[in-house]
Every structure is written in structure tokens, then in C-alpha cells.
Structure 1
């Protein structure tokens, strides 16, 4: 939450929130920016040299990698959503406004892996305020030491 705001209206506001979370949890952060329709990942059909969207706006996408364990990266899309990767487990379509709470849950030790015996399977569970959770299925061979240490 930056400056008391829950809503992150721009990619730059979201990047500022990521930097604050990195400082809060004493983590290094590396951020790269892609600006322009010809640079952002979801606008590959824009054509070479086409920087603005048809409405004249300039799309802005950012990618952040946090240092330390767990390994976490965030790709902020211009469409107000994000792809968060935790130890290689991709959590797609996270609303941009939920990114700070998601990261605080992971870095704060609230995220865990739920194991099921039959049928065998594991799911990364990331609790958020308001009794909401994000769940992402984990392939059995994909348990890193950090994920294995959070199995319940």
C-alpha cells in the first residue's frame, strides 16, 4: 500500500509499491521497464516501430526480480494485471492491486504448500486479506527446497 492507497492506477505506482516491499523485507530488487507497444510482451502484433496503442496511449510494462529466498519475480502488464512467479511456480492474472498483498503473504511466511494424498498433488496457497486466497497447482517434480519446507 503506497501512501495509504490500495489502488495502483499505473505501472509506475505499482513499481513504487514493489520497491517499498523490497525495502520492508530487506530484499534487493532489480526492475526493468518496457515502454511502447513494440516493446511490451502482449503487444507483439503492434509492428516494428509502433510505440502507441490505437487510442494513443503508451503502454508500460515492468519486470521485477527480488533477491533472496524464495525466488520471486513480478511482471506488471499494462492491462492492470500481473504474473508473479514464486520459486518457478507461475501465478498468472493477479490483479495489480493484489500484488502487494500477495508479496507480503509470500515474504511474510503466510504462503504454504498444501499436499494431497489421493489423487497425489500439491498446491501453492497464498492467503490474502479478506479471506481470499490464490491457488496454483504444483507439478510433483517441481518442489524446490523452499517449497518443500512449506508443505502442510
Structure 2
């Protein structure tokens, strides 16, 4: 093998090893930052494939706030509430200002860490609005674009004669 081919081979091998290391580090970083989504039932009973989150695992949970379960600390911003779907309820503890749309009976998504099998220490709470909500600007635009068409008598007679 001549020196020129040897140099090319070394360069190609270094490039492949560098690219492999970059992809490996990227996958490792993405795996560390991945938050899995669970419903309260899946959190307690496990997913259909049998996986259950471990204590200390970061996750997202979504469900409806149980009526009468919101407990606020009068001395701080700490709040505790239960979230349920069709099965068991899960307690979420949050220290911060809740979104304006947050209320009992409303759907929420919380991001946090699993403290025990039925308690989550949330660092973010997102309130979901119902699917019928529409911003006023969009409602106005739809009304304008879907206004009923007005035809004159001449246009109507002309279309029936054709």
C-alpha cells in the first residue's frame, strides 16, 4: 500500500470513528432528556407492555383534576391536587403559579419527577382548554369567510334557465 492510499484510509477511518462517536453521544443525550407520557391508570398499573416508571424518573402525566382535591398552602405557592382518568387518582404537588385555565374538572398535563408510586413532584403544569375553544380573531375570520352568499333575483333566474 502506497503512502497516499494509507493516508486516505486513515482519514476515512478517523471520519467514521468521529461520526460514530457523535451519533452515540447524541443518542445518549436524547435518552437522558426524554420524558415519557403516562395517564394516571398507566402510572399505577403500568403500560400495556408491562413497563412502569421508576421512583425518581422524569415523566409527564395527563388527566382531569378531581373535583374537591385542590389543596393550597395559605403561606406559600404550594398546591396539591389529584388527577384521574378512568381509573385510580394520582397526587400532584406543585410549587408555583398555576395557569389561568387551571380549575377542578379541567384537563391538565404536568411534568415532573415520580416521588412514590402515586405522587409526582411537578415543575410545570399546563392546563388544557376544551376542544370547542376558538380565539376571537379566528372566530371573526371564519364568520367573514363563511358569510352566506347573497344573490339577486336576476342571478337566480339566470341560473335556473341554464
Normalising by the residue count of structure 1, what TM-score does the alignment of the two structures yield? 0.26
Q: Which has the larger radius of gyration?
A: 2
TM-score by length of 2: 0.25
Give 1 or 2: higher helix fraction.
2
Whichever structure has more strand as a proportion of its residues is 1
